Structure 1
Amino acid sequence: MPKNLATRTSGAWLLGPALVAGVAYLDPGNVASNMTAGARYGYLLVWVVVVANVMAWLIQYLSAKLGVVTGRSLPEILGHRMKRPWARRAYWLQAELVAMATDIAEVIGGAVALQLLFDVPLLLGGIITGAVSMVLLAVQARRGPRHFEFVIIGLMAVITIGFMAGLFLAPPSPTGILSGLVPRFTDAGSVLLAASILGATIMPHAIYAHSALARDRFGRADSDAPGIPRLLTATRWDVSIAMVIAGTVNLAILLLAAATLAGVAGTDSLEGAYAALAESLGPVIATLFAVGLLASGLASTSVGAYAGAEIMHGLLRVRLPLLARRLITLIPALLILGLGVDPTLALVLSQVALSFGIPFALIPLVALTAKRSILGEYVNRRRTTVLGIVCAVLLIALNATLLVLLATGA
């Protein structure tokens, strides 16, 4: 076994990369999409959250497996396999636009949280969120992945408490939950929100990032190294824990909105939801919700910047310093905040944009992990590849349906 791998598999603590990538599933876009879905449609879209998290487990495991076995990230492998510069640049452009949509959601979410908690103007809140994220990225750059993981996992704990506290005072209806498990839509708006939930849950940048996080943690190794089976077992546990946490919190947000905010005017926005929670459940629950939103924005924007840097490095073979990239990607979000665009609407639409980037990340991931020339003996089993194809087809079909509905004004 290579020395690097032997060292990294000898410790008892192998979890972490999936928990960091899993923060992407708890970003402000998720909060806005799930809160809006519950407030507008009650329990109708519970099934979308459940299906999205089941699909996310498979997708994140495949991404992590690619990084563990090859010692390279998905963008690195794609950049190596795309021989024509124009193809790499075109692929990078769509991936970069997706990363920017992610940044928009996360910075806006942090800005809204600061306004709710401290009455900070949205533009200033966006600047503060960006500045704090730069501090977190400096931890990753200077102290290494383990310290970065500890910080992000700590923020994940704050997110979980903040978004789930309200359920103890306003338990959801068991009958409503069961009815929400039946797949169905009622109108174009419910399809739009379903696409938003999927875009917020199965995030393209998380697919790119997870393979890089696994590479950074476990290093490069020969595909026949004896430590890899142990790493893959630990990775399955890591992904399972991360997806259970993310899925539970996302479902809790929708259920809280369905139980408390359904039919209440103005609660399909984060500010309206905060005010309604304060009125119905008290200021403590509302404050915890805002704190969870702030932690969500800070953690997820740091992971998003990390993913964007990896996308650029892998596809363009250019590595910008993380902090410089953070400054550049703050611009679109700050422009939106400065122009006075409704922040909740911007969050939801950013998640719809993310859903259209999913196939560009998912199809290559499934294809690469099905190649024996890439993964050797760790290549996907046939049923795993089939399930990955099914996920991709379902996501593409939903996005195509959404486009038709929007085009016809249904």
Structure 2
Amino acid sequence: MIHKKSIVSRLKRFWKILGPGLVTGASDDDPSGIATYSQAGAAYGLTTLWTSIVAFPLMAAIQQMCARIGVVTTQGLTGTLKKHYPKPILYTMLIFSFPAIVMNIGADIAGMGAVGNLLFPNIDASFFSVFFTILLLGLIIYLPYQKIASALKYLCIVMLVYFIVPFLYKQDFKEILSATFIPKLTFDKEFVAILVGILGTTISPYLFFWQASVEVEEMKNKKKHIVVNKKIIHDINQDVDFGMTFSGFVMYFIILTTGTVLFKAGIHQIDTVEQAALALKPLAGDLAYLLFAVGIIGTGLIAIPVLSGSLSYIFTETFGWEQGLDKKFHEAKGFYLIIAISLILGLSLNYVGISPIKALIYTAILYGITAPVLIAIILHISNNKQIMGKNVNDLKTNILGFTALIIMTIAAGLLLYLQF
């Protein structure tokens, strides 16, 4: 009995530690990300499964640095950039981030709307898109930060559906193990494009800004000055590691589902999330289809507040406006107006002739260009004793960080080469 109680109390303590890292990881698997992973599985079977193992430590290292920057400096990544780096770098990030994040939001809203229409065919997809936009805007503006954080945290549970879906279909576990741990590469344009797409989707610049800013929000919410010590850094690292592990598993299981079910059925082209969900229905059954579809809406509900929130943090820190999800609308009008504008612009993309697929391509290009620059800056900040004091990077974090920088720089070069 005592043993059971201690396990329960440990789990409760661990759940309490989880927060920004878990939400950041879950938001990384947004509907547009699911579309990318689904296409990888459909086009190449299980060939890209190993990418989730490679991406995890790189994602975790970058997000840990961003979280530490937020906690140590008590300001977001934009605020640190503004204070310690030339203004052109800051404004360049702003110029590239704004269209990229708005197009990402647009692609996610369109994906949620299309999946809503699949579940309820009598209701038009555009109705669902508008409904989800208004719902999210209302919740973000009217709920206090703690309730938003708690809601996002519990919404992550919805994503567990992706851990079930592959096992509703007969699997060859020997083949899965081989594809997981033995990387296979095909040197053709399409395969390289998929690899670059996976990297761009998993290591996205908006996550860097969100992680740092929301750690500051968490500290503010505790309503007392926190001395940054080893325990706080350890708890933050645990949260980030769990979030990135969770994200990696979701990515892994989506590639596994589409790589076994769709690829083996000869369905090799998936452009949107609703196509992936619909293609599963006759092959893996109604339950797999339903769970996959519900998961897409759940991920959108997590990702869109993170996307719009990160953009708002970037703007408000750049111009020195009042900011924070803990503030009421009248206390931080600029902050909430940026969120509202980003959601409305994202929704409007569907009505001005920019398809979700085009939006994803443009987003990937803009993220691809900015990610290496931002990773280099994050590494520089994290190793700067004047900014970080004794909380600078250790050797392991630097090795992973510089590996991420090299890989993302190569990916950016390949992306630009493939596009132009």
Which residue does 1:5 correspond to in 2?
A: none
C-alpha displacement at 1:304, in angstroms?
A: 0.9
Whether 1:157 aligns to 2:157 is: yes
| Counterparts of residues 238-317 of structure 1 (less than 5 Å) | 238-262=239-263, 263-264=266-267, 267-317=270-320
- Residue range with higher mean Cα deviation, 179-188 or 103-112: 179-188
Where does structure 1 lack aligned partners over 5 or more consecutive residues?
1-10
Which residue does 2:330 correspond to in 1?
A: none
C-alpha displacement at 1:316, in angstroms?
A: 2.8
Distance across 1 between alignment mates of 2:38 and 2:361: 10
| Counterparts of residues 115-126 of structure 1 (less than 5 Å) | 115-119=117-121, 120-126=123-129
C-alpha displacement at 1:135, in angstroms?
A: 2.6
Distance across 2 between alignment mates of 1:93 and 1:227: 33
Which residue does 1:233 correspond to in 2?
A: 234
Distance across 2 between alignment mates of 1:105 and 1:342: 8
Figure out how many residues of one structure are paired with residues of the other and give that number: 390
Which residue does 2:374 correspond to in 1?
A: 361
Contact 1:172 1:258 (8 Å CA) reproduced: no
C-alpha displacement at 1:131, in angstroms?
A: 1.1
Which residue does 2:166 correspond to in 1?
A: 167
Match of 1:103 among 105, 117, 120: 105
| Counterparts of residues 69-148 of structure 1 (less than 5 Å) | 69-82=72-85, 84=87, 86-119=88-121, 120-139=123-142, 142-144=143-145, 146-148=146-148
C-alpha displacement at 1:235, in angstroms?
A: 0.9
C-alpha displacement at 1:91, in angstroms?
A: 2.8
Distance across 1 between alignment mates of 2:92 and 2:56: 29
Against the structure 1 CA distance between its residues 36 and 278, is the aligned structure 2 distance closer, same or farther, given a 3 Å change threshold? same
SS state at 1:380 partner: coil
Contact 1:68 1:228 (8 Å CA) reproduced: no
Which letter does structure 2 place at the counterpart of 1:311?
I
Distance across 2 between alignment mates of 1:266 and 1:382: 42
Whether 1:406 aligns to 2:406 is: no
Against the structure 1 CA distance between its residues 51 and 14, is the aligned structure 2 distance closer, same or farther, given a 3 Å change threshold? same
C-alpha displacement at 1:117, in angstroms?
A: 1.5
- Residue range with higher mean Cα deviation, 118-127 or 347-356: 347-356
Which letter does structure 1 place at the counterpart of 2:381?
L
C-alpha displacement at 1:344, in angstroms?
A: 4.6
C-alpha displacement at 1:241, in angstroms?
A: 1.3
Contact 2:70 2:216 (8 Å CA) reproduced: yes
| Counterparts of residues 339-358 of structure 1 (less than 5 Å) | 339=352, 342-344=355-357, 346-347=359-360, 350-358=363-371
Query: What value does the CA root-mean-square deviation take over the aligned residues?
Result: 2.5
Which residue does 1:391 correspond to in 2?
A: 404
C-alpha displacement at 1:352, in angstroms?
A: 4.6
Deviations 1:111-136 (A, max 9, x none): 22212222343333322221121133
Contact 1:67 1:74 (8 Å CA) reproduced: yes
Contact 1:98 1:204 (8 Å CA) reproduced: no
Distance across 1 between alignment mates of 2:170 and 2:220: 45
Deviations 1:205-227 (A, max 9, x none): 11111011111112499xx9655
Distance across 2 between alignment mates of 1:354 and 1:240: 23
* TM-score when normalising by structure 2: 0.85
- Residue range with higher mean Cα deviation, 286-295 or 107-116: 107-116
C-alpha displacement at 1:148, in angstroms?
A: 1.5
Whether 1:21 aligns to 2:24 is: yes
Deviations 1:138-170 (A, max 9, x none): 25xx422x3212111221111222x23321212
Where does structure 2 lack aligned partners over 5 or more consecutive residues?
1-11, 323-332
Runs of 4+ in 1 over 4 A off after TM superposition: 224-227, 265-268, 339-342
Against the structure 1 CA distance between its residues 348 and 286, is the aligned structure 2 distance closer, same or farther, given a 3 Å change threshold? farther
Against the structure 1 CA distance between its residues 355 and 206, is the aligned structure 2 distance closer, same or farther, given a 3 Å change threshold? same
- Residue range with higher mean Cα deviation, 55-64 or 189-198: 189-198
Against the structure 1 CA distance between its residues 360 and 105, is the aligned structure 2 distance closer, same or farther, given a 3 Å change threshold? farther
Distance across 1 between alignment mates of 2:234 and 2:211: 16
C-alpha displacement at 1:392, in angstroms?
A: 0.7
Against the structure 1 CA distance between its residues 67 and 136, is the aligned structure 2 distance closer, same or farther, given a 3 Å change threshold? same
Distance across 2 between alignment mates of 1:294 and 1:349: 23
Deviations 1:368-392 (A, max 9, x none): 0000111111111244223312211
